[in-house]
Structure 1
Amino acid sequence: MGEPTTSDYDDDDANINMNNTINSCNETQVVLNVYDLTPMNNYTVWLGFGIFHSGIEVHGMEYGFGAHDFPISGVFEVEPKTCPDFSYRCSIPLGSISMPPSGFRTFIESMASEYHGDTYHLISKNCNHFTDDISWRLTGKRIPGWINRLARVGSFCSCLLPESLQVTTVKQIPEFQPCAEEDGTASMSGSSELELSESEDAEQDKHLLSPAPGSEIAFIKEAPKVN
């Protein structure tokens, strides 16, 4: 076998440069965007407490988790720092990753299958648990402890957090309401209409939850389950 030639080294350098260029193009910052759920945070944050919503920004979009009443994806995306109904507080860089947008889309759809809207719980599985999980999987870092401290305290003393504080970070999905017929009787119940709708388009409803017209958020398509 002959000695390596100069052209061999040139080819290796070209491959290395190409790989570096690809990695550089795919590199993106992972940023935590934090919102206030109540103006009281301006006073309590100095004590290390507050009620916050958070979203993860990757590849120019922000991803969060919110509650609804259906066993399908509760993961949604919005323009960064614009989550509706909350007041943006700050952004916290968590690190960078080398992952193309297509790869991240596959990742977030897989996460959506683990975070259904009907599993949202203020104490044990809220929006901040979601962003902490994503941050850990992508960067190996946890989000700052103060963001979800109230939930951890509440897990030890649930009486500190009344049921009324279990707010959703997404708009509620419109429910079907019974309407009166001309003879005064009610039409098909909301639950029956919902069951009929799901039976007619079960596959789509299983994997995709569409926002209402004019909504500022879009739910993430849930990754299909592999049999």
Structure 2
Amino acid sequence: MTPTGFGTYHTSLDVGGFNYSFAATSGITKTKAIDPTSPQALSSCPPGVSYTQSLILSSSSPSPSSLSKILNSLSKTFTPTSYHLLNRNCNHFTEALTLSLNLPSYPPYLNRVARTGTLLIKHEICDVKKEAEIARGNKIITKEEEKKKSKKKIITEKQRKALEALKK
């Protein structure tokens, strides 16, 4: 990490013996996981990127079918043409995948530059928590649905009976 806390990072996630990453033009990629400290791993970094560290988030792996379902869902929004340096990058993908797999805390400093940069532009930012919920198969309630729901009045049993009596 830089002294100012504003480093730029490329991230990927090793799960079940495979490495998952997201990049412009290629989208989500899957490669065989390798020892991150090996010369092969160090040479596989994208151009201009130097290996810094590996973070162990968990030693357990999801079932292959569960992982496949999550990745299929994430691939609908993390497409090769959806990559954006500030609003939908490799760090957004790995954080969404981490949350989808219910892994422990994703380090917030990894995408600090992108979050800060989005304050300067008006653009839709990747909502990793929403992406993770969708990937897990949970229904997301839109703001419009939430407004409709909050406007819906709940009547008491006495009021319901009175309405039924009026209908007769």
Normalising by structure 1, what TM-score? 0.44
What is residue 53 of structure 1 aligned with on the other side? 10
- Give CA deviations for 1:63-122 in whole Å, capped at 9, x if unaligned: 011112xxxx71002333434423221111222445222432332233212211111111
* Matched length: 111
Residues 94, 139 of structure 1: 8 Å contact kept: no
**Which consecutive residues of structure 2, in runs of 5 or more, have no partner in the other structure?**
122-168
More strand by share: 1
What is residue 95 of structure 2 aligned with on the other side? 132
Asked if residue 88 in structure 1 is aligned to residue 51 in structure 2, the reply is yes
Asked if residue 67 in structure 1 is aligned to residue 30 in structure 2, the reply is no
**Which consecutive residues of structure 1, in runs of 5 or more, have no partner in the other structure?**
1-43, 159-227
Aligned partner of 1:78: which letter? T
Residues 97, 138 of structure 1: 8 Å contact kept: no
Over the matched positions of the two proteins, sequence identity in percent amounts to 32
Q: CA RMSD in A?
A: 2.1
What is residue 103 of structure 1 aligned with on the other side? 66
Cα distance in 1 for partners of 2:30, 2:103 equals 22
Residues 124, 155 of structure 1: 8 Å contact kept: yes
Normalising by structure 2, what TM-score? 0.58
Taking a change above 3 Å as real, the CA distance of residues 135 and 76 of structure 1, as seen in their structure-2 partners, is: same
Matches within 5 A, 1:154-173: 154-158=117-121
Deviation at 1:140, TM superposition (A): 5.1
Asked if residue 79 in structure 1 is aligned to residue 42 in structure 2, the reply is no
